[in-house]
A and B are shown apart, each in its own frame.
Chain A
Amino acid sequence: MATFIDRRLDGKNKSAVNRQRFIRRFKGQIKKAVAEAMNGRSITDIDNGEKINIPARDLSEPVFGHGPGGHREAIHPGNKEFTAGDRVARPPGGSGAGGGGQASNSGEGEDDFVFELSRDEFLELFFEDLELPHLVRTQLAKTTEFKSVRAGFTSAGNPANIDVVRSMRGALARRMAMAAPYSRRLRKAEEELQRLLDTSPVDEMRVQELFEEVEHLRARVRAVPFIDTFDLRYVNRVKQPQPTTQAVMFCIMDVSGSMDRARKDLAKRFFTLLYLFLKRNYEKIEVVFIRHHTVAKEVDEQEFFYSRETGGTVVSSALQLSADIMRERYPVSSWNLYVAQASDGDNWHHDSPACRDLLMQRIMPYVRYYAYIEITPDRHQSLWEAYEDVKAQHRHFAMRQIDGPADIYPVFRDLFKRRVS
C-alpha cells in the first residue's frame, strides 16, 4: 500500500522566498558588507557574487534556556578508568564531560554567519542607493545575450531539428548506391528474359533460371532500407554572442588634496555605474585611468583610487592627456569613446577657458558621451561655468553637482534613456 511520486521535476526553489526574506531582514548588515566589498573591488570586477559575513549574534532566535551553573548530573558513554566517587577537575570552557548537552547550545554564539550573495542579489543591493529606475536596473543586470545561428548540419541532434529534405536526399543517394550492383544485374536479366520470351522456341530451363534470378535481385533491391539512422541530418545551431563593438572609458579624477576619501568613494560609484552600462552594451571595454592635480598622469586602478596627492589643480592637463591618448590609441573608427570626470570643482581659474576650448575642439567631436560630476556642497567655480558653455553646444555632454550616491544616476539619465527606449 504505497504510492510513489516522482517530485524531482518539481520546482527546487521552494525556499527562495524564505531566502529573500532573510536577505531583506538583514539588509542593514548585508549592505554594509556590500559597501565594504565595493571598496575592495576593482570597478571592472563589480558584477560577481559576494561572500557576506554577519555576526551570528545578530541573527540568533532567542528561547528560554538554562545557563551554566546549578546542579546537574550528565550521563556519558565510554567509561574507561572512572569508578564511583572519583573526582576530576572541571574541564576548561565547560565543554566536554562536564558541560554535557548544554555545551553545544552555548558554544554556537561566536562564529560569524557567512553566506554567498548571488550576482543578482549583489547588484540589486549595489543599485539600491543609486536609485536607478527599474528598467535600467534590469538592463544592467542582464548578462551577455547570445543569438542562436544556423551553422550547417550535423549527423546527431534532437528530433525537433531534423532537416527533412537533407535527410531524404541522403537516403535516396544511399539507396541508389547500395542497390546499384543489383539494379544493373536486374536490368540485364530482365532484358535477357524478354528476349528469350520473344524468340519462338522458348528455352524453358533458361527462362526458369532467369525468373529466379529476377525474383532474387528484386528482393535484394527491396531489402535496401528506405531510410536509415545515418541518413538523418540535423540542423546545427550555434550560439553566437551578439555582434558587439568595443568601447573605451576614460576615468578622469582630480586627486588634489581637497578630494577626500568620501568623495573618492562617490566617484568610484560614478565610474562603476558607467562601466556597468558600457559592459552591457559592448563586448570589449578598456578603461583608462587619468588622475591629475597640476599635472596629469595615466595610472592603474589601484593608484587611481588609493594614492594621495596634494597640490593645486589644473584640469586642462588631464583633458590634454586624454585627447592625446585618444588620438594615439583609440581611433574613432574602431572605438566608442566615453569619458567620465569627477572633481570637486576646484581649478586654477585661468585654466578654465583652456578646458572649454580643449573639450570643444579635441574631445567632444569624438566621444559618445561625456559625464561630469562635481562633488561639492559649495558654490560653483570657474570650471562649472566653462563647462556650461560646452553643455549648451553638445547634447551628449552631461554635468551635475552631487551630494550623495542618489544624485549619481541622473547624470546618466540621458544616456540610459537613449539606450533603453
Chain B
Amino acid sequence: MSSSRLIADSSEWTFSMLERYNEVIGQIASNDFGLDTYPNQIEIITAEQMMDAYSSVGMPLGYKHWSYGKQFVLTEKNYRRGQMGLAYEIVINSDPCIAYLMEENTAMMQALVIAHAAYGHNSFFKGNYLFRTWTSADAIIDYLLFARNYVAECEERHGVEAVEVFLDSCHALMNYGVDRYKHPAPLSLHEEKQRQHDREEYLQSQVNDLWRTIPTKPAETVTETERRYPAEPQENLLYFIEKNAPLLEPWQRELVRIVRKIAQYFYPQRQTQVMNEGWATFWHYTLMNRLYDEGYANDGFMMEFLQSHTSVVHQLSFDHPYYAGINPYALGFGMMSDIQRICQAPANEDRYWFPDIAGQDWLKVLDFAMRNFKDESFIAQFLSPKLMRDLKLFAVLDDDTQDELEITAIHDEAGYRRLRLALADQYNLGSREPNIQVWNVAHRQDRSLTLRHTRYHRRPLHPETTDEVLKHLYRLWGFTVRLEAVDEDGRVSLVGECPANRERL
C-alpha cells in the first residue's frame, strides 16, 4: 500500500510534486486536525529574490527607503561570504496567505516549508486574537501598495531628500506608533484614499485651532496653564504627533500615519514570536509524521526531515560560545508538544499544575491556547515544570547595586513559579521596551513637548540612542522636546532635551 501512495523519492522537486504534497498536507491539516487557514498563495523564488524579501522586512511591496538598502547590502554580504544561510521561507500575514519558497530547497524542505508556513503560520494568523484584532489580512497588500505610491508621489512633489529624512524620524519612533489597547479601525484601500483628502484639510484646521492666537481673558489663562494637554498621558507617540504637531504639512502627517499603520500591522508578530514559531513548528512536525505514517513519504524523506527539524529546535546552553538567548523555536515547539503530552498522558504533577487541561482533548486545548494568548500570557499559563526541567532553566538577577549576580531560581519545586513569571516578563513588550508617553505640551508657552519615561525596575534609557531619537522627535514636533524620567518613588528628573542649549522656562 505504502509504495503506491508515496509521493516522491527524489530530492529534486517539480511543480506537480509540490501540488501533490500541498494537496495531501492540506487534507490532513483540515480533515484530521481541523486547522482553519486562509487560502494559500505559494510562490517559488530564487535566492536573490529571497534577499530582496528579507531586506524589506518581509513586506512584499515596501516603499523606497535607504534603510532597506542597507539591510539588503548587509544580507547580501553575509550570504555571499557564506556566513549565513537564508531562511527557507517567508510568510506574509495576508489573505490569501503568501508564502515564499526558495528554489534551492530540496523536495523534502519544500514539503516541510509548505506544512510550516502555509498551514502552521497561516492558521496562526487566521486564529490568534491579536492578529484578528490588530491586522486586516485582506487589506494589507492594498494598503502597502497605497503607501508605496503615496511615498513616491511625495518624493516627486517635495524631493527625495525631504521625504527620506522625514521617514527616518518616523522610523525612530516606529515602536511608539502602536495602540496597545484601543482597537484600530480596519484598513481599506478605497476608504483610505477617499478619507485622505478630507483628513488633510480637517486636521490642519484642528491643529490651527489648538494653536489659536486670539487673546483670552487673563482670568482664564491661569486655569488654562495649569491644565495639562493631553489630559491623560498618551502612549502612541506617532498618533499624537500626527494629530497635534503644530508645523507639519498635510503630506507629512500622512507619512506619519503610514509608518504608524505599518508598525501596528507588525506589532502582533513581535508579541507572538514564541507562539507563532512554536505553533508552526509543532504542526510541521505533526504533519510530516502523519505523511510518513500514511505512506506518503519514505524513510529517506523522514531522516532528512528529522535532521533538519532537530537542528531548528535545538537549544544551546548558556555557556556555549554561540549562545544567543532562548531559541523561540525550541521554547515554542517544546511548549506546544508539552501541552499535547499533558492532555494525552498527564503525570500527577501535571494534574496538580494544569487541572483544567490534563486529560482533555489535545486538539481543542491547543486550539484554545493558540487563539487566546500572546507570548507573555502563554508562557505564564502553560510553561510546565517538566519543560523547565528539560531545558534546565535558571534565573539570574543582575542588580546594579550588587557586586555579584545572584541565581534567584532554578528548575526545582521552589523555583518553578518564579522562573515562569520571570520568563513571561522577558517576553512582555511592555517591560522589554521603555515605557515612554506624551506627558504635556506647553501650548500656552513655548510649545515644548514633554515626554515621560516611567522606569521599570530602575532601568535607564540607553544614553547614546536616546539623544539621537530626541533629535528625530524634535524634527517631527518642531519645538523643544524634553524627556523626563520618573523613578519608582515618583521623582521626576530631566533625561534629555533637544535642542539642548536652550534655557528651560
Interface residues of A (CB under 8 A from B): 1-8, 10, 12-15, 17-25, 59-80, 82-90, 96-101, 104, 106, 113-116
Q: Is A89 in contact with B404, judged by CB distance below 8 angstroms?
A: yes
Taking the nearest CB of chain A, how far is it from the CB of B68, in angstroms? 4
User: Which residue on A lies nearest to B118, using beta carbons?
Assistant: A2
What is the CA–CA distance of A12 and B50 in the complex, to the nearest angstrom?
A: 9
Interface residues of B (CB under 8 A from A): 15, 18-19, 22, 26, 37, 39-46, 48-49, 51-52, 55-56, 64-70, 72-74, 76-77, 96, 100, 103, 118, 160, 164, 168, 171-176, 315-320, 323-326, 391-401, 403-412, 414-415, 419, 422-423, 425-426, 432-434, 436, 455-466, 468-469, 472
Known pairs A80-B317, A99-B398. 16 more at Cβ < 8 A?
A2-B19, A6-B43, A21-B69, A24-B66, A25-B164, A63-B172, A64-B176, A70-B400, A75-B326, A76-B323, A78-B318, A78-B392, A86-B406, A87-B406, A101-B325, A104-B325
Pick the residue among B168, B317, B407 that contacts A86 (CB under 8 A).
B407
User: Which residue on A lies nearest to B392, using beta carbons?
Assistant: A79
Pick the residue among B66, B96, B392, B410 that contacts A3 (CB under 8 A).
B96
What is the CA–CA distance of A89 and B469 in the complex, to the nearest angstrom?
A: 34
What is the CA–CA distance of A5 and B76 in the complex, to the nearest angstrom?
A: 25
Q: Is A63 in contact with B42, judged by CB distance below 8 angstroms?
A: no
What is the CA–CA distance of A184 and B318 in the complex, to the nearest angstrom?
A: 91
Q: Is A75 in contact with B415, judged by CB distance below 8 angstroms?
A: no
Can you list 20 contacts pairing A with B, beta carbon distance less than 8 Å?
A2-B26, A4-B15, A4-B18, A4-B22, A13-B48, A17-B64, A21-B160, A59-B70, A62-B466, A63-B465, A64-B433, A66-B461, A66-B462, A68-B400, A69-B459, A71-B400, A73-B422, A80-B319, A89-B404, A106-B462
Q: Is B66 in contact with A90, judged by CB distance below 8 angstroms?
A: no
Main secondary structure on B side of the interface with A = mixed
Q: Is B463 in contact with A67, judged by CB distance below 8 angstroms?
A: yes
Taking the nearest CB of chain B, how far is it from the CB of A140, in angstroms? 25
Q: Is B459 in contact with A82, judged by CB distance below 8 angstroms?
A: no
Q: Is A88 in contact with B398, judged by CB distance below 8 angstroms?
A: no
Pick the residue among B65, B316, B432 that contacts A21 (CB under 8 A).
B65
What is the CA–CA distance of A10 and B171 in the complex, to the nearest angstrom?
A: 30
Taking the nearest CB of chain A, how far is it from the CB of B465, in angstroms? 4
Pick the residue among B19, B175, B317, B408 that contacts A63 (CB under 8 A).
B175
Q: Specify which chain A residues have a CB less than 8 angstroms from the CB of B18 in the assembled complex.
A: 4
Taking the nearest CB of chain B, how far is it from the CB of A201, in angstroms? 71
Q: Is B69 in contact with A88, judged by CB distance below 8 angstroms?
A: no
What is the CA–CA distance of A245 and B22 in the complex, to the nearest angstrom?
A: 61
Taking the nearest CB of chain B, how far is it from the CB of A120, in angstroms? 15
Q: Is A64 in contact with B44, judged by CB distance below 8 angstroms?
A: no
Pick the residue among A18, A60, A78 that contacts B55 (CB under 8 A).
A18
Given the known inter-chain contacts A15-B69, A62-B469, A62-B472, please indicate yes or no for A76 contacting B318, CB distance below 8 A.
Answer: yes
Given the known inter-chain contacts A20-B69, A65-B434, A78-B317, please indicate yes or no for A85 contacting B406, CB distance below 8 A.
Answer: yes
Q: Is A69 in contact with B465, judged by CB distance below 8 angstroms?
A: no
Q: Specify which chain B residues have a CB less than 8 angstroms from the CB of A115 in the assembled complex.
A: 73-74, 76-77
CB-CB nearest 9 A-B residue pairs? A78-B317, A22-B69, A70-B459, A18-B69, A62-B468, A2-B40, A67-B462, A76-B318, A12-B48
